[in-house]
Amino acid sequence: MPQLLSQILKPFVNKNVFRHNIMVRTWRSSTQSHGCYPMMMIDHILKVGDSSDGRVERGDESLGEKEVWITDPKLAEVVRSSMNIILNQRGQDIHMVEKTEYTLPKFIDNVHLYMEHISSRNITENFYFPPLPKGSQIQNIAMSSCPDINNEDWVMAVKFSGSKLKLYRHNKDFRWIDIETTHESISPHSSLMYSKKDQRFYVPTPGCNYLCSFDLNFKEKDKLEFVEVRKTDLPKYELFEFMEINSFTRTDHMVESPSGEQFLISWYYGDECKLNYKELTVIHNTKQFKVFREKEELTDRKTKFMSYTENIGDLCIFLGHGEALCIPASTIPGLKPNCIYFAGHNYGVFDITTQTCYLFSTDEGLLSSTQFPSWPHPLSLTPN
């Protein structure tokens, strides 16, 4: 794969690339197996149009949508892996097993979640968590900080299918704290996130008129808090635009930048008919995103004012199965500012400036993954 990447990027790589190799490697050690510049490859594919060797071609195009057709299966897999590397920026691999060397006989009918984490010292650390019922479906995980054997204060929250939430405090009490919720209070497909600024976990309600929230010290029998979301400066739609967006399904995701700026992202999916091998099929693919920036001067503990924006500056946002991520584009070679990179059900890039959605496609259809942790909808982790 590194040779394949080198061939693709050869005409565009200059000496400045190699000055940033260390930065890219620290993003995650496994990046080395994909070459040292995975996002430069993504950027090149978006810009190249039809490649001379036929491995990348422009597919269907319509207003606000562009299909990037990758004809080479090996290249398609590299694109998928490269996008996944960025989404897993904390260097965590989540696994589920039926038993471990620490499993007690009374937990033999349960499954165990464990995590392999690559520390800042490039050392792999293993963390085991309390048992879960077999068939547990994990949608996403959010943490107060990167896990560290020497740090006893980190907290992990888990969102399960069916709008269930559990909390775990490392080295405090080896058990899950159940958080009582209802289907009406938690959006089934929107992601859970942790705000370092607010020191709270947030997950949108089904209509995203509120954010369900709880802090690090949440205890069983405590009540969830709800923060009202007030969207301002909404875009004006033509009638056909309003009718179209009204037909889409939507998930909502909160994300926080390293400086503490908070954004609310609405991710829209729509149905589309495709003719594959003379058969008409209906696919559900990404259509567009709407971005709202928090107005900090108006926000208080009970209400967040979110203003529609088409400019997030040098920042990039990453959405997938796990906790949403927001970083400056200037920190990683190849990242394009003011863009949303998304992975899982579809893989692609949304340019906020031009309101254009680029979707990666292959001979088998839209590039996607049903493997944890990329899939943005609930799934069972299959025990090894």
pLDDT, tens digit, for every residue of 10-28? 433 333 332 333 333 333 3
Question: What's the confidence (pLDDT) of residue 89?
Answer: 56
Q: What is the mean pLDDT of residues 69-92?
A: 81
pLDDT, tens digit, for every residue of 197-207? 999 999 999 99
Residue 264 above 50 pLDDT? yes
| Residue predicted with more confidence, 171 or 246 | 246
Q: What is the mean pLDDT of residues 186-210?
A: 93
Alpha carbons 204 and 188: distance in angstroms, whole number: 9
Question: What's the confidence (pLDDT) of residue 377?
Answer: 35
Q: What is the mean pLDDT of residues 138-149?
A: 80
Question: What's the confidence (pLDDT) of residue 316?
Answer: 95
| Residue predicted with more confidence, 62 or 57 | 57
Nearest CA-CA partner of 332 in 315, 348, 349, 347? 315
How much is the pTM?
0.83
Residue 165 above 80 pLDDT? yes
For residue 150, name the pLDDT band (cuts at 50, 70, 90): low
Residue 82 above 90 pLDDT? no
For residue 149, name the pLDDT band (cuts at 50, 70, 90): low
* Residues in Cβ contact with 237 at an 8 Å cutoff, skipping those fewer than 6 apart: 245
Kindly report the average pLDDT of the chain as a whole number. Answer: 80
